[in-house]
Chain A
Amino acid sequence: AQRVTQPEKLLSVFKGAPVELKCNYSYSGSPELFWYVQYSRQRLQLLLRHISRESIKGFTADLNKGETSFHLKKPFAQEEDSAMYYCALGGGDKLIFGTGTRLQVFP
């Protein structure tokens, strides 16, 4: 079955601390993984995708096929990073989302 698991509902850190939002997936075949973000009062938007291997707003994510993970990391969190983060798996034409992790960054 195709599934995305985000074990943490809430992650709270202080500004400047490292952040790791966990994401594990279940998929037969070559997965396409994404991180979407929803800031307060804004719409859901793509943050990054594994095939791009890019860093957006200081965030990176590495696909680990052995551990079936796609954790999102940032070395130094900023207050403006506070948002809801969703890991998603590309299953054909559709996106399969995890339940999301709320990141709170305190000053």
Chain B
Amino acid sequence: EAGVTQFPSHSVIEKGQTVTLRCDPISGHDNLYWYRRVMGKEIKFLLHFVKESKQDESGMPNNRFLAERTGGTYSTLKVQPAELEDSGVYFCASSQVGSGRATDTQYFGPGTRLTVL
């Protein structure tokens, strides 16, 4: 079974540019999560999709971040325009159909390392 995949693995952009990160969850997983780890800090929740619907987007830092999951399969996270403080590792995770609670095992992708210069 293929795990959660993320693309790209690394992205280096300049301040003000736009970047789109992609996450492909495990097939059949309705729940999809985005997290971010900024250097030296904890991994923080960004948002949670159940199929194509945003269940919880309380962790999104500001309106420069836009997440979509059209069709309930893969998800994209766009940052526009990127700022220096957006640098970090962006993780995607998915879990099976269930309560959508944290007790459902979340399977993580390898992450995308974003560097904004």
Residues in chain B near residue A51, CB distance under 8 A: 103
**Set B41, B45, B110: member contacting A99, Cβ < 8 A:** B41
Separation of A81 and B36 alpha carbons in the complex (Å): 25
Separation of A63 and B86 alpha carbons in the complex (Å): 35
- Nearest to B59 among chain A residues (CB) is A94
Known contacts A43-B108, A43-B110; is A97 also within 8 Å of B44 by CB? yes
The reply to whether B105 and A92 form a contact with Cβ atoms under 8 Å apart is no
B25 CB–A CB distance under 8 Å: no
The reply to whether B43 and A43 form a contact with Cβ atoms under 8 Å apart is no
Residues in chain A near residue B48, CB distance under 8 A: 93-94
Question: In which size bucket is the chain B interface?
Answer: 20 to 34
Separation of A44 and B91 alpha carbons in the complex (Å): 9
Interface SS of chain A = strand
**Set A4, A34, A90, A91: member contacting B42, Cβ < 8 A:** A4
**Set A86, A88, A93: member contacting B101, Cβ < 8 A:** A93
A32 CB–B CB distance under 8 Å: yes
The reply to whether A90 and B103 form a contact with Cβ atoms under 8 Å apart is yes
Interface residues of B (CB under 8 A from A): 3-4, 31, 33, 35, 40-45, 48, 55-56, 59, 91, 100-103, 105-111
